Amino acid sequence: MDNNRKQILLDLGAETLADALLELAVHCDAAGDLVERLIATPQENVQRLKKKLSGLKQSGRFIDWREAAGFARELEMLLQDLKAGVDDPLTGIELVAAFYEADSTIFEMCDDSSGNIGDVFRYDAKELFVDYALRCLDKEKIADVVLTLNRRDDYGIRDTLIDCAGEYLPQPVIRSMIAELQKRADDEKDEYRKRHHLLLIESLARQIRDAKLFEETRIASWGELSTAAFIDIARVYLESGDVETAHSWLKKIPEDGTFQAYERDKLLEEIYQKQGNHEKLTELLYQNFRSHHSSDALQALLDVIGNDRREEVIRDEVALILEGNALWVSDAEFLIAIGKIDAAEEYLLKRAGQLDGNLYGSLLTLAETMEAESRHLAASLIFRSLLISILERGYTKAYPHGIRYLKKLDKLSVNIADWRNFDDHEAFKKQIIQAHGRKRSFWSKYKGEK
């Protein structure tokens, strides 16, 4: 379709397209900017870039969050001017650096709570810088530009160019950068700025896979290390190929520690695989599976112990789930995911008293699934919990949802012959009328929509 449209436009001829573009430029600033860029010489585009940067510094306007996306597009167009106007890589590098140096002006004149403007620095400007840097032969000069730019980073955006240095600089140049940053850190008296330099060293050390340097720098930066630091150091050792040292760092974390447990376990999984430690890997995957049942966790386990044990594992795990007393929505979701709808229904009915309607995000899907599977009693009990949550909170904006749930309960009740030990629909309805009958807006809308 796009190719057809392109061909139709080409058939219209250059004059027709030029007239259309000029007409559009009158009504759209972005189109006008595009026209100016297309007809300008490379030198003129560079001047346009410099003029726009200068204009930003002199501008007295403030961009609120609603205008931030539009302002981000303006900045993207500014970078497009640079790309169109500059072919010399070193000149391009210096001009992208000038864009980064305008960060204080840019962020102070806008509300970037949406993150749109920050993304221009993190992605558009970074990609343009890397493109120029890959074509530039003077790698030492590039390093000097990046280091000069990163003497300060008050808005946490300039280090973007440090974090991708491995893409455009060879290891010897990165080593020289590390030496300069270490000198800055040693000479710095202010603890915050000292740590800034050390963080940049960490990033570069990880990129060149120098795990020992990363470890030493993290210790120098923070002194006493936390669980997060143990995990970070272990990850870099693992990336560098030193599996045993990576494992030794993870062993420093208390076994019952829950902070960043997922990250720790993912690293352990990779370590056990590289070590060929089938027993430990199986134990870890069983532990992860039982702590949070999911189809992905099940498959990860079966990939190690064999898919031929699927039915055995499922049988044993379903039995364990049904033996427990606590209600975990994730367990109900897992039972449904593996096709054990009877077990899921039994699980929910035995624990109906624990249903918390405040968890509407997951419970609503569960209720709709039970309804679709004609498990009307289980579906009704979940819809009841959702309705009660809305009524107890008196959240009027959610009343339309509550009315929908009550009407759903009216319909489901017709299909339920055996209410087991639960109140039937009429008894439930009397209870909520008695407890919430004064919420007149709810009841009037419910009766009016019948």
Instruction: Give the rounded percent of residues in the chain with a pLDDT score beyond 70.
Output: 93
- Which of 153, 169, 185 represents a domain boundary (last residue)? 169
Does any domain span residue 274? no
**Mean pLDDT across 17-27:** 68
Cα distance from N-terminal residue to C-terminal residue, the chain:
47
User: pLDDT digits over 231-244, tens only?
Assistant: 999 999 999 999 99
Domain count, the chain: 2
- Give the pair of three-digit tokens for residue 134: 């890959």
- Which of 169, 204, 223 represents a domain boundary (last residue)? 169
DSSP 3-state assignment of 117?
Answer: helix
pTM for this predicted structure: 0.77
Q: What is the pLDDT of residue 307?
A: 96
Does any domain span residue 231? no
User: pLDDT digits over 77-134, tens only?
Assistant: 889 888 887 889 999 999 999 999 999 999 999 999 999 999 999 999 999 999 999 9
Q: Which domain holds residue 434?
A: 359-450
Residue 429 has pLDDT above 70, yes or no: yes
Residue 206 has pLDDT above 80, yes or no: yes
Q: What is the pLDDT of residue 82?
A: 86
306: left (phi over 0), alpha (psi -120 to 50) or beta: left
**Mean pLDDT across 44-49:** 69
Does any domain span residue 204? no
- Give the pair of three-digit tokens for residue 413: 């009740």
Q: What is the pLDDT of residue 4?
A: 79
Does any domain span residue 415? yes
- Which of 120, 142, 169 represents a domain boundary (last residue)? 169
Would you call 244 exposed, middle or buried from its count of C-beta atoms within 10 A (0-12, 13-18, 19+)?
exposed
Does any domain span residue 304? no
Residue appearing with tokens 């709709």: 368
Does any domain span residue 158? yes
User: pLDDT digits over 356-366, tens only?
Assistant: 999 888 899 99
Q: What is the pLDDT of residue 32?
A: 60
Partners of residue 63 on adjacent β-strands: 110
Residues 6+ apart with CB under 8 A from 127: none
Does any domain span residue 394? yes
CA angle 358, 364, 369 (to 5 degrees): 150
Does any domain span residue 436? yes
246-263: b (≥16 Cβ within 10 Å) or e: bbebbeebeeeeeebeee
Q: What is the pLDDT of residue 15?
A: 78
Phi, psi (degrees; rounded to nearest 5) at 253: -85, 130
